[in-house]
Amino acid sequence: MSSIGLLAAALLNASGKGVALASEFADMPALKGKDYGKTKMRYPDYTETRSGLQYKDLRLGSGPTPKNGETVVVDWDGYTIGYYGRIFEARNKTKGGSFEGGDKDLYRFRLGSQEVIPAFEEAVSGMALGGVRRIIVPPELGYPDNDYNKSGPRPTTFSGQRALDFVLRNQGLIDKTLLFDIELLKIVPS
Ligand SMILES: *[C@@H]1O[C@H](CO)[C@@H](O)[C@H](O)[C@H]1NC(C)=O
Ligand SMILES: *[C@@H]1O[C@H](CO)[C@@H](O)[C@H](O)[C@H]1NC(C)=O
């Protein structure tokens, strides 16, 4: 089975959201026959910023954009790209899958305080309230020292932490590129 097949299978088993994600990736010619993780991939339909972050707005917000120093409340999902698209954080978990429990708490952080990985900070800084943005995060914009305890967002379930940790700590064999969906739910003025 090809990597794409595995990725699709992993995502198809996961959730309704995964289905959309799987078909999106399955349709990408750039991914065909590629060896995951050896080179940085440029995804069609995504905007690449100067930092190397790639993003796509799944829904444009219609509210204000948060400013430095303001606290934001977000909902987020996280996927590993190089490890069969495995989910390390999601709502509406699959029955009998590796995730358990009901809805998780929303995540909040202060912009500019370096509480979160650089990719998160950059992505949310450019979003409008109510928007949903999908980001592709190269390792240099992700978790420092490959440690999810040092910067948010931190997976909320043990199995999610284990999945993320496995990818982050793996030496050279697995692409550490991550994918997040972020929904900007609230801006709390400072
Ligand atoms: C979870 O799934 C239910 C039923 O499919 C849906 O109504 C609800 O909006 C979902 N919640 C989230 C946070 O996606
Ligand atoms: C993060 O912290 C948890 C305990 O809170 C620990 O079990 C885990 O090993 C830590 N992860 C890393 C990568 O240090």
- CA 16 / ligand 1 centre spacing (Å): 10
Q: Relative to the alpha carbon of 76, which ligand is closest? A: 1
Distances (CA, A) of 130 to 57, 65, 73, 133: 11, 10, 11, 10
111: CATH = 3.10.50.40
Residue 4 lies in domain: 1-28
Start-to-end C-alpha separation, the chain: 51
Regarding pTM above 0.85, the answer is no
Q: Are 56 and 3 part of one and the same domain?
A: no
At 117-175, the pLDDT tens digits run 999 999 999 999 999 999 999 999 999 999 999 999 999 899 999 999 999 998 777 88
CB within 8 A of 170, min separation 6: which ones?
A: 176
Instruction: Please count the structural domains in the chain.
Output: 2
Q: Are 11 and 57 part of one and the same domain?
A: no
Q: Are 45 and 23 part of one and the same domain?
A: no
- CA 92 / ligand 1 centre spacing (Å): 6
pLDDT tier, 104 (very low <50, low <70, confident <90, very high otherwise): low
Q: Are 174 and 109 part of one and the same domain?
A: yes
Q: Are 14 and 65 part of one and the same domain?
A: no
Residue 181: pLDDT over 60: yes
Is the minimum distance from the CB of 92 to ligand 1 under 6 angstroms?
yes
Q: Are 136 and 183 part of one and the same domain?
A: yes
| Ligand 2 nearest-atom number relative to CA 148 | 13
